[in-house]
Chain A
C-alpha cells in the first residue's frame, strides 16, 4: 500500500465529478428548476474541473499513459506553475468549488464526488511517506513555500503533478561510431627486443601486430 500514488485515483475521481457536475447542471438549467442558476454555476465549475484534471500527471514510478490529446491542456496547466502542481491547492480548490453545487438536488451528487476527490488529494499528502527517498515535498513551489515551512516534513508525502513531456528524440549521429583507424603505429619495444623471432611474426601479421608471438599461423577469416 505504501507505493500507491493516490493522486492517480484522485485525478480519475475528479474528472468523473466534473462530468457529473456538468450533467447535473444541464438538467437543472434545461429543466428550468427553481434556483436553476446553481445549475448554471455547476456547468461552469464542471467544465473548469474537467479541463484542469484532464492532463494526467506523470507517475513517479513507471510510465504513464497519456489521455488522448492531453498535451494541449498540459501546456496550459503547466503555466500556472505551483498553483496546479501542488495537490494541497487542488484539494482546497475542489472543496470550495463543490460547495455551491450542494444547494440543488440535481447537482448534489457532483458535490459529493468532488468532495471525495478533494479528500483523496489530501490523503496523498498526509499518508506516511514512502520508503524510498521522497522528493522534498512542496519545497520547490515558491508560492506555498512560506506555508510549507511550518508543516512537518514527515506529513508531506511528496506527491505533486508533473507534466508528461515527450522526451526529445536523440538524433542518431550518423557515422558517430565509425572509428578511424589509428593514425600512429602501436608502441614497439626498443630495437634490441625486436630482433630475430619477432621479425618473422611481423612479416606474417600486419599492422595490428605488436610484440606478440603467434604459435599457430594466423589466417584471415573474413567471410
Chain B
C-alpha cells in the first residue's frame, strides 16, 4: 500500500495515488474559494465605486467577472476529475490490501487497527466476503486471521499466498466504501451536482433556457455543504508525531514481523488529518450569503411604475421610480415581477439617462416571463390602465460597468449590433442632456454612431429616439454633432426594389431619418479611414456592444488604423460587457 509511507516522504516504490489525490484537493480548496467571489454583484459594485480613485484599467478587470467565474469552474472540473481518478486507484489498492490481494507490507499495514489499542491506517476496515465462496475457503480465511494475531509473516508459502489472492476479489469493497464512508457519499453526491451544474451551463442551455440554468445552478449549495464535510471522517491518515519519535519508518520498514516486539519499532499509531477545506470556503460562503441578503433587501424596496409605453413589434417600455436609485450610463438592472414569477430575476439594460428623474427599460416580448409581464401591465388591453392596477416590481441594481469612458474622449465611434444597441440609448440621451445643460464643459464633440441590425422592427423605439435627437439637433443648429449610420443586414430583393425607387427622397423610407439607411455590412476599413482623416491627431474611442466576431474585427481595425507615434490619430477599442 505504501501510500502512507510515500506520503510521509519515504521511498517511492509504488505510484502514489494518495499524493495524486491530495494535490488536486489542495487546488480545489483554492478554486472553490475563488468561484463564489466573482458572482457577488453587489460586492463588485461596491469595490468598483470605492476604487474610483484607481485607474479605469483596474476597475475594468471587475467587468470580466463572469469570464473568471467560468475559468475557475473549468479548473474545478479538471481537478475534480484528477482527484476522483486518483482516489479510485487509492480505494482499489486499499481494498486489495485489505483482502490480502497485495504485497505483504501493505497487507501488514492494513491489519493495523484490527487489535485493540491500535489505530488504523487503511480506511477499508471491513473484509467483505464474496457471497458465492464455499465454506472451505471461508475457513481458510478464518485461519488467516488467526494466523495474523500471533505475528505477521513476512513471507508466505506460495500455495497459501495464491489461495489468499484467489478468494475475496471484491469490487463490492469499493462500492461499500463509497456508501458507508462520509467521504464516499459526499464525494459522489457533490461530483454529481457538479456535473449537472456544468451540463446545464453550456451556452445553448444558458442562452435559450435560462431557467434551467439558473435553478440547476443552485445545486452549488449542496456542493459547498458536501465539500465542507467531505473530510470530516478523517480517513486520510498519517503517523502521529508522537509515534514518529518512537517508530522510525525508515528503520522499521523491513522488520514488520517484529513490530511491537522490539524496542525500536513499537506499533505505529496513526491519526486522521483534520479537514482543511472549510477554512478556505467559509469566508466566501459568508460573503455570498451577505450578497443574497443584500439582493433580497434591495428587492424589497418599493418600486413604482410611473409609465408603461407599448412600442410596435412587441416591445414595451417601463418607466419606474425608486427611492435612492442612482444609475450611470450603460448599466443594467435585474427585474422581478412577483405576479408573474416569484423566483425569476431577469436582466435588462437601462435605456434612460441618469439626468432623467425616472429610469426605464425596454422589454421585448419573447418568452413566458415577458409575456406574463406584458399581460400584468395591462398592455393587451386597449383602455387606459389605472396606476394602482400596475403590478409590484422588484429591482436589483444597477450593475455593470459605467460607460463613462465615452465622455472622456473628444470623438467617439459607437457601434451597436442587434440588441446591443440598447445601452447606447442611455448613452445618447445622456450625451444630449449634458450637451443641452452645459455644452462648453463637454469634452465630447462628435459622435459617429453605427447601428447594425437585421431589421429595425424590434428597435422602432430606438429609431424614434434617433429622430428626436435629429430634430433637436437641427433646432440647435448643431446637426453635425451626431452622425449615425444604420446598416440593415437583412434586406432582400423586394426591399431593394423599394429602396431603389425611393432613393431620392429626403427622408429615409424605413426609419424616417434624414440620414439614409445603408444595406449590408459596413466596410470597416473605409469607415475607420474616413473618420481618421476627418479627425487627425485625436484619440478616438471605439465602443462596441455586439458579437465577438465583430469585436475582433473592430479591435484589429482600431490597431491597424492607429498611427504609431504619440501624435496622430489613435483608435482605442473598448468592448462593453452588457
User: Do A and B originate from a single complex?
Assistant: yes
A interface vs B, CB < 8 Å?
1-6, 8-9, 12-13, 15-16, 20, 23-24, 27-28, 31, 33-35, 38, 56, 59, 62, 65, 103-106, 108-109, 112-113, 116, 177, 223
Q: How far is the CA of A47 from the CA of B92 in the complex (A)?
A: 24
Given A5-B209, A23-B85, A105-B91, does the pair A12, B171 have CB atoms closer than 8 Å? Answer: no
Task: Tell me how far the C-beta of B357 lies from the nearest C-beta in chain A, rounded to whole angstroms.
Answer: 37
| Shortest distance from the beta carbon of B539 to any chain A beta carbon, whole Å | 38
- Interface residue ranges of B75-105 to A (CB < 8 Å): 81, 84-85, 88-89, 91-92, 96, 101
Contact A27 B85 (CB under 8 A): yes
Q: State how many angstroms separate the Cβ of A130 from the closest Cβ of chain B.
A: 10
Contact B89 A109 (CB under 8 A): no
Q: Is the CB of A108 within 8 A of B171?
A: no
* CB-nearest residue of chain A to B178: A105
Is residue B513 contacting chain A, with contact meaning CB distance below 8 A?
no
What are 28 A-B residue pairs whose CB atoms fall within 8 Å in the complex? A1-B211, A1-B368, A3-B367, A4-B209, A4-B211, A5-B209, A8-B204, A9-B209, A12-B200, A16-B198, A16-B199, A24-B88, A28-B88, A33-B88, A33-B174, A34-B92, A34-B96, A56-B204, A62-B208, A103-B175, A104-B175, A105-B178, A106-B88, A109-B84, A109-B195, A112-B192, A113-B195, A116-B196
Q: How far is the CA of A220 from the CA of B71 in the complex (A)?
A: 67
Partner of B171, one of A4, A23, A103: A103
Are B192 and A31 closer than 8 Å at their CB atoms? no
Kindly list the 8 A-B residue pairs having the minimum CB-CB distance in the complex, ordered from nearest: A105-B174, A12-B199, A34-B169, A13-B199, A4-B209, A35-B171, A106-B88, A16-B199
Contact (A3, B368) CB under 8 Å given A12-B204, A27-B85, A108-B188: yes
B386 CB to closest chain A CB, in angstroms?
Answer: 29
Once the chains are docked, how many angstroms separate the CA of A38 from the CA of B101? 19
Instruction: Give the interface size class of chain B.
Output: 35 or more
Do A9 and B199 touch (CB < 8 A)?
A: yes
Find out whether the CB atom of A9 lies under 8 angstroms from the CB atom of B212: yes
Q: Total A-B pairs in contact (CB under 8 Å)?
A: 94
Residues of A with C-beta under 8 A to B192: 109, 112-113, 116
B132 at the interface (CB under 8 A from A): no
Given that A23-B81, A59-B208 are contacting pairs, would A109 and B368 also be in contact in the complex, using a CB cutoff of 8 Å?
Answer: no
Q: Is B170 an interface residue (CB 8 A)?
A: yes
Is the C-beta of B478 less than 8 angstroms from some C-beta in chain A? no
Cα distance, A5 to B504, chains bound together (Å): 48
Q: Does B523 contact A (CB under 8 A)?
A: no
Question: B158 on the interface (CB 8 Å rule)?
Answer: no
Q: Which residues of B contact A15 (CB under 8 A)?
A: 199
Chain A residues with CB under 8 Å of B91's CB are: 105
Q: From B89, B101, B170, B175, give the contact of A27 (CB < 8 A).
A: B89
Q: Which residues of the partner chain B approach A27 to less than 8 Å between Cβ atoms?
A: 85, 88-89
Residues of B within 8 A of A108 (CB): 175, 178, 188
- In the bound complex, residues from chain B placing their C-beta under 8 Å from that of A1 are 211, 368
C-alpha spacing A1/B92, complex, angstroms? 44
Residues of A within 8 A of B282 (CB): none
Interface flag for B383 (CB, 8 Å)? no
Instruction: Please give 16 more A-B residue pairs, beta carbons under 8 A apart, in addition to A8-B205, A31-B89, A34-B171.
Output: A1-B211, A2-B368, A12-B204, A13-B195, A23-B85, A33-B174, A34-B169, A38-B171, A65-B203, A104-B171, A105-B92, A105-B174, A105-B175, A113-B195, A116-B192, A177-B493
Chain A residues lying within 8 Å of B89, measured Cβ to Cβ, are 27, 31
Q: Which residues of A contact B92 (CB under 8 A)?
A: 31, 33-34, 105-106
Closest chain A CB from B100 CB (angstroms): 13
